[in-house]
Amino acid sequence: EAQVTQNPRYLITVTGKKLTVTCSQNMNHEYMSWYRQDPGLGLRQIYYSMNVEVTDKGDVPEGYKVSRKEKRNFPLILESPSPNQTSLYFCASSPLRRGNTGELFFGEGSRLTVL
Amino acid sequence: AQRVTQPEKLLSVFKGAPVELKCNYSYSGSPELFWYVQYSRQRLQLLLRHISRESIKGFTADLNKGETSFHLKKPFAQEEDSAMYYCALARFGNEKLTFGTGTRLTIIP
């Protein structure tokens, strides 16, 4: 089944303990992106990647890192999590082809709580 | 900078009544507008895009460049329309989507 898979789906951690949220897609999509969803703020883009080894900051990149060593994987790294990073995180992917701009395929979300 | 505004956080409509979810945007170039929907316990998914001019699940949305709006409409609401709806904007030819803050639609039986 074509999909975007995130892990873990739920995580409670403590301030300062490094964590990684993995994202994998099996659709051979070039574009991948991370969003966080917060009440009243909607979805805000953290980082995105146009292809392998090509990443760029979104609107709220502070406190996050990403890497794109393989086309299918786009992990989100929180080096030193803080409580203001408590949120629901979504990974999304999209093929970069003519006529398909804007159709993102989303993962199920990862709910992160930082104490 | 591009910006999307959804003025209603919550919207309740009786079953069978018309639905209109408002979306306004600000962008100086040629935008592409989309509506995404998230049903309970499901992934966020694309509902429709202005470029397709299609009707999905009875919903339509017309891009009004003069009013910079892209309101989502349905003539007769159904219970299964209850969901969170996000309006989103992309620059033409660019994958980066800017989302609005979302509107939670509840259909009252």
Distance, in Å, from the CA atom of B60 to the CA atom of B19, rounded to the nearest integer, reads 10
pLDDT of residue A45: 93
Phi, then psi, of A72 in degrees rounded to 5:
-80, -20
ω into A8 cis (within 30 of 0): yes
Q: pLDDT at residue A7 above 60?
A: yes
Res. A34: pLDDT tops 70: yes
Instruction: Say if CB B13 and CB B105 are below 8 A apart.
Output: yes
Dihedral of CA A61/A74/A70/A17: which sign?
Answer: positive
pLDDT value for A98: 58
Distance (Å) from the C-alpha of residue B31 to the closest C-alpha of chain A? 11
Nearest in space to B42 (alpha carbons), one of B76, B85, B87? B85
- Cα separation of A106 and B16, whole Å? 30
Please report the pLDDT score of residue B65 as a whole number: 86
pLDDT at B97: 85
- CA distances for B73 relative to B35, B60, B97, angstroms: 11, 5, 21
Once rounded to an integer, what is the mean pLDDT over residues A33-47? 93
Question: Using a CB-CB distance cutoff of 8 angstroms, which residues of chain B are in contact with residue A92?
Answer: 44
- Among the partner-chain residues A44, A48, A90, the one whose CB lies closest to the CB of B44 is A90
Q: b/e per residue, A85-99, with b = 16+ CB within 10 A? A: bbbebbbbbbeeeee
Q: What is the structure's pLDDT at B87?
A: 96
Which residue intervals of A27-109 are DSSP H helices? none
pLDDT at position A16: 94
Whether chain B has a CB inside 8 Å of the CB on A45: the answer is yes
pLDDT above 90 covers what percent of chain A? 82
B68: Cα separation from own chain's centroid: 13
Q: Which residues of A touch B36 (CB under 8 A)?
A: 104
Q: Does residue A97 carry a pLDDT above 70?
A: no
Q: Is A73 at the interface with chain B, CB within 8 A? A: no
- Residue B62: which pLDDT band, with cuts at 50, 70 and 90? confident
Residues of A in contact with B98 (CB under 8 A): 45, 59
User: Which residue among A43, A48, A50 sits closest to B99, beta carbon to beta carbon?
Assistant: A43
Percent of chain B beyond pLDDT 70? 97
Partners of residue A94 in chain B, C-beta under 8 Å: 95
What is the model's pLDDT at position B32?
Answer: 87
Q: Min CA distance, B95 vs chain A (Å)?
A: 5
When pLDDT is averaged across residues B74-99 and rounded to a whole number, the result is 89
Read off the pLDDT of each residue in B87-92 and give the average, rounded to a whole number: 85
Of the candidates A82, A95, A85, A78, the residue with the CA atom closest to the CA atom of residue A33: A95
pLDDT tens-digit series, residues B14-53: 999 999 999 999 988 888 899 999 999 889 999 998 877 7
Vertex B8: Cα angle to B78 and B49 (nearest 5): 65
Average pLDDT over residues A48-53: 92
